[in-house]
């Protein structure tokens, strides 16, 4: 499938695939997210980092349609949206890869790929499932994200960690997602599998998707990310690029505290636009 060029705004500027403007989410009287600004551009990987309780899970819930924001604006391709369900988020072009629910384990690989959108051939009343076409399409789509040599008829439970997430990424690419939200697996995976998954993420970026990776691994984030959104207590504590920090500094900043606040203030003074994102 071909990838459309990113939409352009005034003076040739690229319209963000997804944008948050002052988004606030409250759990009772406690803000889980407090006036969060973020700009997710097509063809760019944004890594969201933060300790437990920083607001990462709430951000995922808002973008995936599980939770509506209480204040602020959420925009997709420049249009304000207010998702009432994950289905609405998917229809708007935001695909989510969940950390533990990337596949239906008892179904075959190709069934997982086409789940709910199975291809058919022929006309009614002789219409039937196009199994051969589904298998071939699945293999081609998986090869696009770097996964080869699969048996499309094997159950998804036979896939290794990393391959399951790659399957979900391949599916999002095939069905025309604009943005890809990845809730990184919480269980440790091998370097080989993490490399495979990283390859699929980079493939999504190359296809022009705005990619969001929620992770607790700053070194891995620095390896694949273009921007880094650091959350602390529901606030944006840092909005940085690869030019701003190296892997060691990003690792140190994960602890938060005065060092992060000092860097954020200094960068915002030099680049006021960071404070507006």
Q: Tell me: do 201 and 224 sit in the same domain.
A: yes
Q: Are the CB atoms for 166 and 194 separated by under 8 Å?
A: no
pLDDT at residue 179 is higher than 70: yes
Give the count of domains, the chain: 2
| Stronger pLDDT, 98 or 182, i.e. the higher one | 182
Instruction: Give the rounded distance of the alpha carbon of 162 from its chain centre.
Output: 15
Q: Tell me: do 33 and 81 sit in the same domain.
A: yes
Q: Is residue 224 part of a domain?
A: yes
pLDDT at residue 148 is higher than 80: yes
Q: Is residue 173 part of a domain?
A: no
Q: Is residue 163 part of a domain?
A: no
Tokens read off for 19: 């944008």
Q: Tell me: do 86 and 122 sit in the same domain.
A: no
195: domain CATH number? 3.40.50.300
What does the pLDDT average to over 211-225?
Answer: 90
Which tens digits make up the pLDDT trace of 53-97?
899 999 999 999 999 999 999 999 999 999 999 999 999 999 998
| DSSP H helix total and E strand total for the chain | 9, 12
Q: What is the pLDDT of residue 61?
A: 95
Q: Is residue 185 part of a domain?
A: yes
Cα separation of 73 and 82, whole Å? 8
Q: Is residue 113 part of a domain?
A: yes
What does the pLDDT average to over 165-189?
Answer: 84
Q: Tell me: do 219 and 153 sit in the same domain.
A: no
Q: Tell me: do 255 and 215 sit in the same domain.
A: yes
In sequence order, the 6+-apart residues with CB closer than 8 A to the CB of 160 are 193
Q: Which residues span the domain enclosing 113?
A: 105-158
Helices (H), the chain: 56-64, 86-91, 109-113, 131-144, 163-174, 191-206, 218-224, 247-253, 258-270
What does the pLDDT average to over 2-18?
Answer: 62
Q: Tell me: do 98 and 111 sit in the same domain.
A: no
Q: Output the CA–CA distances (angstroms, integers) from residue 32 to 29, 64, 76, 203, 213, in the order listed.
A: 9, 16, 22, 32, 19
Q: Is residue 164 part of a domain?
A: no
**Cα radius of gyration rounded to whole Å, the chain:** 19
Q: Tell me: do 42 and 60 sit in the same domain.
A: yes
What does the pLDDT average to over 206-214?
Answer: 94
Q: Are the CB atoms for 4 and 169 separated by under 8 Å?
A: no
Q: How confident is the model at residue 4 (pLDDT cuts 50, 70, 90)?
A: very low
Cα separation of 269 and 277, whole Å? 14
Q: What is the pLDDT of residue 5?
A: 45
Q: Tell me: do 124 and 20 sit in the same domain.
A: no
Q: Tell me: do 85 and 219 sit in the same domain.
A: yes
Cα separation of 42 and 210, whole Å? 4
Cα separation of 213 and 182, whole Å? 5
Q: Tell me: do 240 and 192 sit in the same domain.
A: yes
Q: Is residue 172 part of a domain?
A: no
pTM tops 0.85: no
Q: Is residue 33 part of a domain?
A: yes
Q: Tell me: do 91 and 124 sit in the same domain.
A: no
Q: Tell me: do 141 and 251 sit in the same domain.
A: no
Task: Tell me which residue has tokens 């599980």.
Answer: 66
């Amino acid at each position: 499938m071909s990838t459309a060029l990113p939409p352009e705004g005034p003076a040739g500027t690229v319209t963000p695939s997804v944008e948050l403007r002052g988004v606030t989410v409250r759990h009772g009287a406690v803000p889980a997210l407090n006036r969060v600004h973020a700009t997710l551009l097509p063809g760019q990987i944004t890594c969201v980092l933060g300790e437990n309780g920083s607001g990462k899970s709430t951000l995922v819930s808002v973008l995936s349609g599980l939770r509506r924001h209480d204040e602020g604006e959420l925009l997709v391709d420049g249009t304000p949206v207010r998702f009432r369900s994950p289905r609405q988020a998917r229809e708007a072009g935001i695909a989510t890869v969940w950390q533990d629910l990337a596949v239906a384990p008892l179904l075959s690989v190709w069934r997982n790929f086409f789940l709910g959108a199975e291809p058919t051939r022929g006309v009614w009343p002789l219409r039937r499932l196009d199994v051969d076409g589904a298998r071939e399409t699945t293999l081609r789509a998986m090869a696009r994200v770097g996964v080869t040599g699969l048996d499309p008829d094997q159950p998804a439970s036979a896939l290794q960690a990393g391959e399951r997430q790659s399957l979900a990424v391949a599916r999002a690419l095939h069905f025309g997602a604009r943005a890809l939200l990845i809730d990184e697996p919480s269980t440790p995976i091998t370097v080989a599998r993490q490399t495979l998954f990283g390859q699929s993420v980079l493939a999504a970026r190359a296809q022009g998707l705005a990619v969001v990776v929620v992770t607790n691994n700053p070194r891995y984030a620095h390896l694949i990310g273009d921007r880094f959104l650091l959350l602390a207590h529901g606030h944006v504590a840092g909005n940085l690029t690869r030019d701003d920090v190296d892997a060691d500094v990003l690792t140190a900043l994960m602890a938060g505290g005065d060092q992060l606040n000092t860097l954020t203030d200094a960068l915002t003074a030099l680049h006021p636009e960071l404070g507006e994102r």
